[in-house]
Amino acid sequence: MIQDFERATTERLLLRAVSANDLEAVFALHSDPATNRFSRAGYMRTLDDARKTLGLWLEDWAREGVGYWLVERLDAPGVVVGLGGVRHKELEGQRVLNLAYRFAPQTWGSGYATEVSRFALALAAKHLPDVPLVAIIHPENTASLRVAERLGMRLDRTIDYDGCPSRLFVTG
């Protein structure tokens, strides 16, 4: 595991690797229709769905030493407000780091997605500079599009992502 990725803090947030104890938090974030409005899979309906997703993310950490974080506010320890970071995936036959962020609706507009993503981009540039970093965003998800632009990512092209036209943003 790349130690810098496992547990870190930003100005306002604790970023920690997902753990087997995070099933309820993963389900809470992914079962809310509002937080999944632009998700190609829609919102999670069962804890078993969350268990499968969490299992994939735990495998990422075990195999790659990198994966998505659960995010807590430093002033509210133990309260998960979102998820973010990077994980390896294959896109169009190429190994990439996928940048993702999803936060509870009550935190929207707080800048948390930008804060977490800026930190993730810096760590990826330091530790995994040879792996292309991308963000795949639904074209109607204006808030996520703004985050990618604020981070200095550039729109590369529109791709078909699991049957949904999506905007592919890249770094550099």
What CATH code is carried by the domain that includes residue 16? Answer: 3.40.630.30
Cβ contact 53:26 at 8 Å: yes
pTM greater than the 0.85 cutoff: yes
| pLDDT tier, 41 (very low <50, low <70, confident <90, very high otherwise) | low
Strands lying side by side in the sheet with 68-73: 7-9, 13-17, 68-73, 80-91, 94-103, 133-137, 164-170, 154-161
The span from the CA of 19 to the CA of 15, in Å, is: 12
If one counts the domains in the chain, the total is 1
Domain that holds residue 93: 3-170
Say what the pLDDT of residue 155 is. Answer: 97
Q: Cβ contacts of residue 26 below 8 Å, gap of 6+?
A: 18, 50, 53, 54, 57, 70, 83
| pLDDT of 3 above 80 | no
The model's pLDDT over 120-167, given as tens digits with 9 standing for 90+, comes to 999 999 999 999 999 999 999 999 999 999 999 999 999 998 888 999
